[in-house]
Structure 1
Amino acid sequence: MRVIEIAGGAGPAEALTLAEHPDPVAGDGQIRIRVRAAGVNRPDLMQRQGLYPAPPGALAIPGLEVAGEIDQVGPGVSRWSTGDRVCALLGGGGYSDLAIVDARHALPIPASLDFIQAAALPETVCTVFANVFESGALKKGETFLIHGATSGIGVTAIQMAKAGGGRVIATSRGPEKTAAALALGADLSLDAGTDDLEASILAFGGVDVVLDMVGADYAALNQAVLKPGGRWVVIATQTGALARVDLLRVMLKRITLTGSTLRARPADEKARLISEVERVVWPWIGSGRVRLPVHATFPLEQASAAHLALEAGGHVGKIILTT
């Protein structure tokens, strides 16, 4: 099978090279997916840069989400059959023609979606559900703030928060992105380059939950706009991991600060999360209430170009590799 390797273990986008590996075989409790499309995510960039190594037992090949057909079912698997259309969450190995997956980490592709659309879902939807609805405990009628609103996570978070009954404030940069966030359902869309974010968010009434992918530069803003009892959930630190936190403000507002990663969670925990996503989010996707825009697709052998596109930051929605 073809795979994308990281030459030297880390490097620029050009370090992504096409190679041949032996076809893997599904073991106990596993399925093998003939990959038709794979999502490109910021953790893939970090892995390529040497900043986010694969967890123990995971392949060093990038790629955390795929869609395709099952072409092999391992012993002990009862739910799936060969030929089933599925998308799946992986610890690594998605940039390839074939992917071995824990059978519990796969989801049926809704009939209305093709493989490219489905490949945009698993990593992104699971990340949003785990952090916004579980860690952030967003409830119907509460206000949710998402920074980086036109990223893959951002467009998903806007739609899922709206489907769950929340009000959404989105921040992004430039008029095109602010317009895109409004079109996706945001109640208030702010341009981080020109708008007074703090004043505008406070005028809207403040927020109950923040999903923060920015890090240090927005720490003061998040503390200022959170309501009493608010939840601040960090999932990336693009402007730095060391931030100034006013502990007195945290105490007075009873702010909960938490964060997480998804890739290194135990297999059983991922299986639980996948089950909850199928129960809660899959009906939203099936009905069209949540639909991830795909910004661009690239063939597998052009993985380096896909990474450069993601790094450039001009996308609205997901970037996908196809086989």
Structure 2
Amino acid sequence: MKAIKVIGDKLSWEDCDDYTEVPADHVEIDVVWTAINRADLMQRAGVYPPPPGASDILGLEVSGRIAALGESVSGLEVGQEVCALLTGGGYATKVVVPAVQVLPVPKGYSLDQAAAIPEVFATAWLNLYQEAGLQPGERLLLHAGASGLGTAVIQLATAFGNPVFATAGDAVKLETCQQLGATGVWNRNDGSFVDAVKSWGCVDMVLDPVGGSYISEDQKVLNVDGRIVLIGLMGGRTAEVDLGLMLVKRHRLIGSTLRSRTVVDKGKVMQALHRHVWPLLSAGQIRPQIDSEWPITKVEEAMTYVAENQNTGKVLLKVSD
């Protein structure tokens, strides 16, 4: 098989060892598409190593066709078009993944569209409805609203009755957020979002991929019993927290990652997506937002594009036909 290898500060599309076997509860997929996530950039930079036992090949999601099934796998078929959530290994022509992390492509979807689903919608569901336990009518502040994850969160939250206030870095991205359902927006280049969110009506949850100085600002717009779910550190790994405010208003600060969770946990998230989100995708009520598609051999340029925040929605990589 072939895969992207990190050689120094360069990426190279090279031959590598093939999988020798498919464990009983796993599936082998011939990869057609994969996608770039911020975690891939962090791993390449050496600050987000894969969990113990995971592939060191980049890539946290794929779509493709099943090439082989482990002997205990049921409900899936060789040749079936599927998408999968990975712990690593997506930037390759083949991947072996636990069957519970594999789902059939939603009805009416192409393989490129399906590759844009697993990581962002699993992350959105996990953090909104499992970690934060959002209830209908509760309000959400979302940072980086035009990212691949952000565009999924806006649609999912809106579909489940949770109004969204989104921040982003330019007017075009904010317009996209509004088109997807955000009823409040703020350009982060215009300064603090606090007054704008308070005017909008404050929030019950913040989904924060930034961290750093944003945490103390997040606190200022949280209602009683509000939750901040921290999922990234783009703004730094240290923050000032008002413990008095946290105590009086019963705030919760929750750190959350998806990649390092157990196979059982990931399987539960994927099954929740199949039950609750797949029908919305198939009905066209929500859709993954695809910014651009690149051949896998142009991965260097594609990752630079994402690192420079030029994308609105997902950036996909074509691996094979």
- Quickly name the TM-score band, shorter chain normalised: over 0.9
CA separation in 1, counterparts of 2:176 and 2:85?
Answer: 27
Q: Which of 43, 50, 62 in structure 1 is aligned with 2:46?
A: 50
- Residues in 2 aligned to 1:144 and 1:81: alpha-carbon distance in whole angstroms: 39
> For residues 259-312 of structure 1, what are the alpha-carbon distances to aligned partners after superposition, in whole Å with 9 as ceiling and x for unaligned?
111111111111111111211111121112221111111111111111111101
Match of 1:115 among 99, 108, 111: 111
* Equivalence for 2:4: 4
SS at match of 1:113: coil
Q: CA offsets per residue over residues 211-264 of structure 1, 9 Å max, x none?
A: 001111211210000001111100001010100000000011110110111111
- What percent identity do the matched residue pairs reach? 36
Q: Distance in 2 between matches of 1:196 and 1:51?
A: 28
Aligned twin of 1:133: 129
Counterpart position of 2:195 = 199
Q: Say which is worse superposed, 312-321 or 283-292, in terms of deviation.
A: 283-292
CA contact 2:122–2:273 (8 Å) conserved in 1: yes
Aligned partner of residue 137 in structure 1, secondary structure: coil
SS in 2 for 1:276: helix
Between the aligned partners of 1:267 and 1:95, the Cα distance in structure 2 is 20
Residue aligning to 2:145 = 149
The match for 1:18 is 13
Q: Residue 123 of structure 2 contacts residue 258 of structure 2 at CA under 8 Å; is this kept in 1?
A: yes
CA deviations on 1:108-156 (whole Å, 9 max, x unpaired) are 1012211111111111111111111111111111111100000111101
Question: Over residues 187-223 of structure 1, what are the superposed CA-to-partner deviations in whole Å (9 max), with x where a residue is unaligned?
Answer: 1111111265111110111000100011112112100
Number of aligned positions between the proteins: 318
1:238 counterpart = 2:234: yes
Q: Quick check: 1:264 aligned with 2:264?
A: no
Q: What does residue 293 of structure 2 align with?
A: 297
Q: Is the 8 A contact 2:213 2:240 kept in 1?
A: no
TM-score, normalised via structure 2 length: 0.97
* 1: CA distance, partners of 2:233 / 2:246: 20
2:25 alignment counterpart: 29
Query: Measured at CA, do residues 30 and 179 of structure 1 come closer, stay the same or move farther in structure 2, by a change above 3 Å?
Result: same
| Residue 249 of structure 1: aligned partner | 245
Q: Give the 3-state SS of the residue equivalent to 1:275 in structure 2.
A: helix
- Give the Å deviation of 1:23: 2.8
For 2:164, the equivalent position in structure 1 comes to: 168
> C-alpha deviations, 1:18-75, integer Å up to 9, x for none?
1102332322111111111001100000000001111111110000000011011121
Once residues 173 and 91 of structure 1 are traced to their aligned partners in structure 2, the CA distance between those partners, rounded to angstroms, is 29
Task: Write the distance in 1 (CA, Å) between the matches of 2:253 and 2:273.
Answer: 23
Superposed, 1:222-237 pairs within 5 Å as 222-237=218-233
TM normalised by structure 1 equals 0.96
Pairing partner for 2:180 from 177, 184, 190? 184
Please identify runs of 4+ aligned residues in structure 1 that moved more than 6 A: none
Q: What SS does the corresponding residue of 1:216 show, helix, strand or coil?
A: coil
**Aligned to 1:307, which of 300, 303, 309?**
303
Q: Give me the CA root mean square deviation.
A: 1.1
Whole-angstrom CA distance in 2 between matches of 1:152 and 1:122: 11
Partner amino acid for 1:105? Answer: Q
The one-letter code sitting in structure 2 at the alignment partner of 1:43 is A
* Structure 1 gap segments, 5+ residues each: none
**Structure 2 gaps, min length 5:** none
